[in-house]
Amino acid sequence: MVTHTQLDPLTLSERVRRHVVTMVYEAQSGHIGGSLSATDIMSVLYTRIMRVDPQRPDWPDRDRFILSKGHCTPVQYATLAEMGYIPVEELRTFRKKGTRLQGHSVLGKPPGVENSAGALGMGLSFGLGIALGRDFRGQDFHVYVLMGDGEQNEGQVWEAAMAVANYNLDRIVAIIDRNHIQNDDFTANQMAIDPIDEKYRAFGWTVRSGIDGHDLRAVEEALTWARDHRGGPACVVFETVKGKGVSIFENNPGFHGAAPNADQYALAMRELGAEG
C-alpha cells in the first residue's frame, strides 16, 4: 500500500492554481480556464483518492489517471510536479522548445502521464482498454477518466460509455468537469448536452451530479463514493466554474485558450495569494 502525500488538497490546489497561471503566462499560450475548473478535482484525486507513488510511476498496480480533455495539461503537469513526479522548476519549460511538457498530453511525458490526448473524446475508450486488461490480469486498481463538458459532444465518448456499461465494469470512474464553457462559447450556445447525468444513467452508469467541484469536502465525498462503488461504472458530474479563482478568468469564454497579459497576470497572482 502506498501512502498518500503529506499535501492536503487545499494547499495543493492553491499551489497548482498559481503554477497554472504562471505556466500559461510564461508560455503565452495554453488553457487556463479548464485547468482552473479542474484543479480542485485533481487535488482531491491525487491527495485523497488515488493510490499512486510518484517515485514509481510504472508501478503496475497504480491507479490510472486519464486526462481525456488533453488541452488541460497545465493542471496535470502542475499537480504531478507538486506531487513529486517532476521538479517544480520544470513547469517553466511548458510549451517551450525541447520540453517534455507539450501543450497537449503525450503518453509518458513526463512519467505519470498515462495517455496521449488533445483530440477530444478518446480517454474513456483508452481507460476502458486498461480496465479490461486489468480484469483479465486479475489486478486491482482504479481508472479515473477526466473529461470536459464540451467533450461530451464527441460521439466516441458515447461509444465508450456504452461499452463500459456493456462489460459492467467497476473501478472505472468517469469524471466530468461541467464548467459550462467550451472553445468558442458557453456550452449552451454550442450544443444541447443536458441532461448529462440522465444520459449516463440511460447508458447504464450510476451517476452523482450537481456536486460543487470547488467544495473540497464535497469533491472528496463524491470521489470516495465513486471509488468505492461496485457492480458497475460510476460517473460524477462536477459543477465547476471555468477559470475558478481569478475574477477576470471566471466564467469567461475568452479565457478558454488565451494567455493573460502582464497586468492580468499580476492581478491573477494577487488574487491567488502569491507572495510579493
Partner 1 sequence: MTMTAPASAATREALGPTLIRLVQQGVDIAVVDADLGKSTTAQKFRAEHPERFFELGAAEQNMMSVAAGLSTMGFTVFASTFAVFAEHAFDQLRMSIAQPNLNVKVVVSHGGVSVGEDGASAQSVEDIALFSSLLNFRVLVPADLAETVACLETAARTPGPFMIRTGRSKVSAIYPDSSHFEVGKAHQLRAGSAVTIIAIGLMVERALAAATTLASEGIEARVLNMASVRPLDTEALEAAARETGAIVVAEEHLVHSGLGAMCAQHLAMRQPVPMEFVGVPNRYGESGTSDELLEIMGLTPEGIVEATKRVLARKA
Binding interface with partner 1 (CB under 8 A): 106-108, 114-119, 121-122, 125-134, 136-137, 155-156, 159-160, 162-163, 166-167
Q: Which is nearer to partner 1, 159 or 215 (CB)?
A: 159
Please name the amino acid found at residue 252: N
What's the min distance (Å) between Cβ of 180 and partner 1? 26
The CA distance from 129 to 127, in Å, is: 5
What's the min distance (Å) between Cβ of 54 and partner 1? 19
Contact between 224 and 250 (Cβ < 8 Å): no
Name the β-bridge partners of 238.
177, 211
Q: Which is nearer to partner 1, 131 or 174 (CB)?
A: 131
Q: Which is nearer to partner 1, 122 or 216 (CB)?
A: 122
Cα distances from 119 to residues 175, 203, 208, in angstroms, run: 18, 23, 26
Q: Which is nearer to partner 1, 49 or 131 (CB)?
A: 131
What's the min distance (Å) between Cβ of 65 and partner 1? 13
What's the min distance (Å) between Cβ of 141 and partner 1? 11
Q: Which is nearer to partner 1, 5 or 99 (CB)?
A: 99
Q: Which three cell numbers, joined as nine digits, stand for 201?
A: 444513467
Name the β-bridge partners of 234.
173, 206
What's the min distance (Å) between Cβ of 237 and partner 1? 21
* 110 contacts: CB under 8 Å, gap ≥ 6: 77, 80, 85, 86, 90, 100, 101
The CA distance from 272 to 249, in Å, is: 12
